[in-house]
Each structure stands twice: as structure tokens, then as C-alpha cells.
């Protein structure tokens, strides 16, 4: 500071402007907001990629379950004498699903994939919400800075 006024109390000296500007920027949280605004798009892109991968894994797991169920249905349908009606075939399918290790493994993988998909969706949504909140905070900070600038003291030395 080049003037004789106590630190931060000078309202007219150009030498004190950088110090005053720094305090105003700190008050508005501008640097923190800028860092978050710069960081979040990359994190959102990574989360979007993770979500896409989780969707693919989920779709593959659903397909595997459907394939295993179709195999069981075909096995049951091949023995028409033992399972003559739809109720008997449905009951046998339920029993075989519970006992068949390939079906059970596929069903387990589907449940894991559903959990991972849900987590990926939640994470992406949390980042999207954070992005929206940070953008809103940046707009508020900009409005505050504009308000501060509008009330700039008259008679400042240029």
C-alpha cells in the first residue's frame, strides 16, 4: 500500500485498488467458483462414461438372464408329457431357476449390474446437481460484484 490510510480503508487511492479488489474477490468466492466451474465438466464427462459403461454391462446381464431362461424353457418344453399344461411348465421353470447354477449366476450378475447402474446414475445426477448449483452461485457472485461496482465511490483519482 502506497498511501497513509490504514490497510483497506483507502477508497480513492489507485495504489490500494489491487488490495481492495482481492478482498472483494475473496468475499465473492470467485476463485473457488472458477476452480469448481473448470473441474466439474471433466468430472461430469467421466461420470457420463461410467454411466454408459454401466448401462452396457446391465444390458449384457439382462441378455444373459434371458438366454438362460430361454434354455430352461426349451428344456421344459422338450418334455411335454411330464409338463402337459402352462401351469405345470411355469412351476417347473420357477423350480429350475432356483436350482440351475448357470441361471443363478446370470441372475446374480444382473443384480450386481443393476446396483452398479443405480450407483452410476446417482453419481452422475449428484454431479449434474452440483454443476447447476455452482453455476447458480457464479451468477449470484457476478451479480454481487456488479452491485459492488455500481456503488463505486465518486471522485476516485484516475
- Residue 9 inside a domain? The answer is no
- Residue 3 inside a domain? The answer is no
**With 90 as the cut, is the pLDDT of residue 148 above it?**
no
Question: Region 66-91: what's the mean pLDDT?
Answer: 94
Residue 109: name the closest of 63, 71, 150 by CA. Answer: 63
pLDDT at 62: 98
pLDDT at 28: 67
What cell does 119 get?
450407483
- Residue 84 inside a domain? The answer is yes
Q: Got the DSSP string for 35-96? A: HHHHHHHHHHHHHHHHHHHHHHHHHHHHHHHHHHHHHHHHHHHH-TTTS-SHHHHHHHHHHH
- Residue 18 inside a domain? The answer is no
Greatest mean pLDDT among 106-110, 130-134, 148-152 lies in 106-110
- Residue 48 inside a domain? The answer is yes
- Residue 80 inside a domain? The answer is yes
Output DSSP code: residue 33. Answer: H
What cell does 142 get?
457476478
- Residue 74 inside a domain? The answer is yes
pLDDT at 129: 97
Is the distance from CB of 88 to CB of 73 less than 8 angstroms? no
| Count of domains observed in the chain | 1
State if pTM tops 0.85.
no
Q: Which domain holds residue 72?
A: 24-150
Amino acid at each position: 500500500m502506497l498511501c497513509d490510510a490504514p490497510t483497506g480503508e483507502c477508497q480513492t487511492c489507485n495504489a490500494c485498488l489491487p488490495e481492495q479488489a482481492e478482498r472483494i474477490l475473496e468475499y465473492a468466492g470467485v476463485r473457488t467458483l472458477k476452480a469448481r466451474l473448470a473441474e466439474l465438466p471433466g468430472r461430469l464427462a467421466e461420470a457420463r462414461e461410467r454411466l454408459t459403461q454401466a448401462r452396457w454391462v446391465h444390458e449384457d446381464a439382462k441378455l444373459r438372464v434371458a438366454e438362460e431362461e430361454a434354455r430352461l424353457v426349451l428344456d421344459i418344453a422338450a418334455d411335454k408329457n411330464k409338463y402337459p399344461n402352462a401351469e405345470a411348465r411355469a412351476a417347473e421353470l420357477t423350480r429350475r431357476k432356483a436350482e440351475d447354477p448357470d441361471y443363478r449366476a446370470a441372475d446374480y450378475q444382473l443384480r450386481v449390474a443393476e446396483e452398479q447402474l443405480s450407483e452410476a446414475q446417482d453419481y452422475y445426477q449428484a454431479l449434474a446437481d452440483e454443476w447447476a448449483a455452482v453455476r447458480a452461485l457464479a451468477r449470484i457472485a457476478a451479480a454481487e460484484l456488479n452491485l459492488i461496482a455500481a456503488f463505486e465511490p465518486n471522485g476516485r483519482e484516475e
